[in-house]
Amino acid sequence: MPPRDSELSRWFEVQVYPHEPMLRAWLRSRFASETDVEDVVQEAYVRLLRAREQGEVTSPKAFLFAVARNIATDRFRHRLVARAEPLVENEALAVLEESEGIPESIARSQELEILTEAIQSLPDRCRQIFTLRKVYGLSQAAIARQLGVSENTVSAQLTIGVRKCMEFMLRCRREREGRWP
């Protein structure tokens, strides 16, 4: 039985929408055109919702990122085929040639999901500073100005954030391998 609209809306709001800023930042770091980013995000949402209608999507974030990557790759390939000029060596082509297999893609998605959980487990201010620096690429000075704190505070919070994220990920790896700390 397909989910009701209100149920689907709530699921989307809780499980998918919080990942949109990270998805957009990730896409912007790889594609120059803002319209491409917007189109990819919207198409990824449509495909995610269709998949959700067919059955339970166990990892919405991983699914969303994988679908967005596939859409962006397809668009890039389409432009290459449609291009009339001869192909030249292109950094983006090298990325396509090194595409990973399904196990590697799943492992990367799981690692990304664990990293997201690690970031979400940080204290509020630490998470905010960590995200502004690592996801959005703001400088420590820009973060300090934006948040009205000293650069030393930003530096200290980043150090704490990195340490806590590493500890979280190591703990998850040990648990996955059946070892305890």
In the chain, % of residues over pLDDT 90: 8
CA distances from 46 to 9, 33, 105, 154, 174 (A): 13, 20, 21, 38, 36
d(CA 63, CA 54): 14
Domain CATH code at residue 150: 1.10.10.10
Q: Do both 88 and 12 map to the same domain? A: yes
Domain encompassing residue 161: 113-181
Work out the average pLDDT over 94-101.
53
Measured CA to CA, the distance from residue 75 to residue 85 in angstroms comes to: 17
pTM of the model: 0.44
108 inside domain: no
What mean pLDDT is reported for the chain? 78
Whether 62 maps to a domain, the answer reads yes
User: For residue 89, is pLDDT > 60?
Assistant: no
If DSSP codes are grouped into helix, strand and coil, which group holds residue 149? Answer: coil
Alpha-carbon span 104 to 92, nearest angstrom = 19
